[in-house]
Amino acid sequence: MSEAVDVQPESGAPEVPRRPAKPRRADARRNYEQIVAAAEAEIARSGARASLEEIARRAGVGSATLHRHFPTRWALFDAVFHDRVEVLCRRADELAGSQEPAQALAEWLKAVAVYGATSRGLASALLVNLSGVATPAGSNCDVMLGDAAERLLQRARAAGTVRPGVASCDLLILVNAVSLATETHPDAAGEAARLTDLALAGIHPAS
C-alpha cells in the first residue's frame, strides 16, 4: 500500500526540522542524491500527494533508508526545492539593487508564484509552513522566502508604496494560493503571472 504525502498538519502547527545535511560517506551521499532526484521526478508527476513508497522504489532504497535521511515529509520537500528557492532569494536581492521598491517586490512575488505553479508540490508544502512556526533562520525554504519577502517589503513600505497592514507572510500566502490555483492550467506560468498582477493591485495605498 502506497504512502501518500499529506502536507496537512496532523494537529496544530507542524514542527519543521532543519534541512538534513548532506551525508559525508560516499554510499550515504549517493543514496541521499538518488532519493532527492527520485522525489523531484515523482512530485513533478504526482504533485503534493507523491508516494513516499514510490520515491524510495525509484531511488532504489528501502523505506527505512529514505526516512533515515528525511525523517519528515517536509524535510524531503525542503531538499527537493531548496536550491531553486536559494536562486529566488538571490533574485530578490538583485531586484532590490536594480528596481524601484514597488516594482522589485511585485516582480519577485510574480517569480515566486510562477515557480510555485510550475513546480508541483511547492505551493502546498509552503502553505503549511507559513503559519508562524519558529524555525532556525535560513534552514528551510519557507524561512528563506519569508526573509527575502520581508527585505523587499520593508523597502516598499519605506517608500510609501504599500498600504498599511500588509505583512510579508500575507504576500507569500497570496502568491502560493495563486500557484495552487494555476498549477494544472495549460499555461501555468502565464496564468500565475496574470493573477499575481491582478492580486497585487490591491496592496497599494488607496488613491
Which phi-psi region, left, alpha or beta, contains residue 143 (left: φ > 0; alpha: ψ -120 to 50)? Answer: alpha
Per the prediction, the chain carries an average pLDDT of: 83
8 A C-beta contact, residue 2 and residue 53: yes
Weakly modelled stretches of the chain, pLDDT under 50:
1-17, 132-138
Is the overall model pTM greater than 0.85, yes or no? Answer: no
The count of other CB atoms within 10 Å of the CB of residue 101 is 20
pLDDT computed for residue 138 by the predictor? 42
pLDDT computed for residue 57 by the predictor? 96
pLDDT computed for residue 72 by the predictor? 83
Between CA 160 and CA 181 the distance in angstroms is 30
pLDDT computed for residue 24 by the predictor? 67
pLDDT computed for residue 111 by the predictor? 95
pLDDT computed for residue 16 by the predictor? 42
- Angle, CA of 156, 163 and 171, to the nearest 5°: 70
pLDDT computed for residue 43 by the predictor? 86
pLDDT computed for residue 130 by the predictor? 62
Cell matching residue 157: 513600505
Residue 8 CA to chain centroid, in angstroms?
A: 15
pLDDT computed for residue 45 by the predictor? 84
Which positions ≥6 away from 8 have C-beta within 8 Å? 128
